[in-house]
Amino acid sequence: MKAEEEEEIFKKYHTIAVVGASPDPERHSNAVMGYLKDNGYRVIPVNPTVEKVLGLKSYPDLRSVPGKIDIVDVFRAPDRVMPTVEEAIAVGAKVLWLQEGVINEAAAAKARQAGLVVVMDRCIAKAHAAIAGKKHSTPRSP
């Protein structure tokens, strides 16, 4: 995906569900969620094992989230992505964003076939920071 296409995503969409969100500040999902929140996006943690992340109510799955979801940002093992893709399609999400290391061609193809824009194996915060001219680092990246 080209930087111009990613820039369009960030301009057009503002509600991001973070699947696999963690309350642990040492986890990438926590740092990415915080970055997106600090940059004006509405972030929604999705994790059935926690009540809150960054002070925000966590939902067990995408179907439980009230209101619309524009972008589904996925922090899951590649072999566990397909159910999230099916939920993203069901709730009418516009973009499926698979974080660095999350590569599942079949899931990406299914999302594209349903009309979602797919970004795979790329950190949403790093992509935004590059476009916005900001610096973003996570606990595991300098």
Range of the domain at 49: 1-14+22-66+83-102+120-142
Residue 45 lies in a domain: yes
pLDDT tens track for 95-142: 999 999 999 999 999 999 999 999 999 999 999 999 988 655 555 443
Q: Cβ atoms within 10 A of the Cβ of 122, count?
A: 15
- Tell me which amino acid residue 127 is: A
List residues bridging with 52 in a β-sheet.
57
Residue 40's region, left for phi above 0, alpha for psi from -120 to 50, else beta, is: left
Residue 98 lies in a domain: yes
Residue 76 lies in a domain: no
User: What's the confidence (pLDDT) of residue 4?
Assistant: 86
User: What's the confidence (pLDDT) of residue 133?
Assistant: 82
Residue 57 lies in a domain: yes
Residue 114 lies in a domain: no
Number of domains in the chain: 1
User: What's the confidence (pLDDT) of residue 51?
Assistant: 97
Residue 55 lies in a domain: yes
pLDDT tens track for 26-43: 999 999 999 999 999 999
Residue 113 lies in a domain: no
User: What's the confidence (pLDDT) of residue 142?
Assistant: 37
pLDDT tens track for 55-94: 999 999 999 999 999 999 999 999 999 999 999 999 999 9
User: What's the CATH code of the domain at 51?
Assistant: 3.40.50.720
User: What's the confidence (pLDDT) of residue 80?
Assistant: 96
Distance CA 59, CA 51 (A): 8
Residue 141 lies in a domain: yes
